[in-house]
């Protein structure tokens, strides 16, 4: 066997080993998500009236949104409304609801395994989870948890969900950005909560 053949064989073996590692990681991730969703407490899966009260939310609000991003093809009138889903007293409960709502009760009616096949963006800020996915030629589905006091300041909050401010936008929507000098550290002197997205 020549040196070149040995090098090719070694590269094939390394590629096969890397593929095995990737499969193992994907399988572990799938089991972790399925276990988390299946083990979700009943109070998180089916929140009672206290958790569904938009007028008096608990410490952390879970919200959902589904709409097209500015892709140059679909109509785009700004980010989709953020709809109040529920609220919880603890970050753990709020994050559990985010996972459950995103994977098990998504806007398309897909099963947990089907959702796990999507490319999911997972962010955690301040201990609160945001999950989103945008399958090809489809809307962006997002579920996130934020402090209750921040929810009303998110851009395009559905008016039925407690109001909000249409003048606060994502930075990529040509609205105010962190570089804007409004003298108040936010829009109209209010604190900006875009960082929670």
Helices (H), 39-142: 42-45, 49-52, 91-103, 112-116
pTM for this entry: 0.64
Q: Band of the pLDDT at 157, cuts 50, 70, 90?
A: low
Q: Is the pLDDT of residue 63 over 70?
A: yes
Predicted pLDDT of residue 158 = 56
pLDDT for 83-130, tens place per residue? Answer: 999 999 999 999 999 999 999 888 888 888 888 888 899 999 999 999
pLDDT at 155: 60
pLDDT average, residue stretch 31-54: 81
SS (H, E, C) 86-146: EEECCHHHHHHHHHHHHHCCCCCCCCHHHHHCCCEEEEEECCEEEEEECCCCCCEEEEEEE
Name the DSSP letter for residue 189.
G
pLDDT at 197: 45
Helices 3-38 and 91-103: crossing angle in degrees, nearest 10, is 110
**Backbone angle region of 174, left / alpha / beta, with phi > 0 → left and psi within -120 to 50 → alpha:** left
Percent with pLDDT over 90 in the chain: 39
Which residues make Cβ contacts (< 8 Å) with residue 119, sequence separation at least 6? Answer: 133, 134, 135
pLDDT tens, 142-151? Answer: 999 999 999 9
């Amino acid at each position: 066997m020549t040196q070149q053949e040995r090098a090719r064989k070694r590269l094939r073996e390394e590629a096969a080993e890397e593929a095995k590692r990737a499969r193992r990681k994907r399988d572990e991730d799938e089991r972790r998500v399925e276990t988390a969703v299946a083990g979700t407490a009943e109070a998180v899966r089916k929140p009672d009236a206290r958790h569904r009260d938009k007028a008096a939310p608990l410490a952390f609000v879970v919200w959902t949104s589904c709409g097209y991003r500015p892709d140059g093809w679909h109509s785009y009138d700004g980010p989709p409304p953020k709809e109040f889903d529920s609220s919880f007293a603890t970050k753990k409960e709020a994050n559990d609801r985010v996972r459950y709502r995103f994977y098990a009760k998504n806007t398309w009616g897909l099963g947990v395994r089907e959702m796990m096949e999507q490319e999911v963006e997972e962010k955690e800020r301040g201990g609160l989870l945001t999950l989103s996915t945008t399958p090809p030629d489809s809307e962006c589905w997002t579920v996130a948890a934020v402090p209750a006091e921040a929810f009303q300041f998110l851009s395009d909050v559905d008016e039925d969900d407690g109001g909000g401010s249409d003048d606060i936008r994502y930075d990529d929507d040509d609205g105010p950005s962190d570089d804007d000098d409004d003298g108040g550290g936010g829009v109209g002197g209010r604190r900006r909560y875009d960082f929670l997205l």
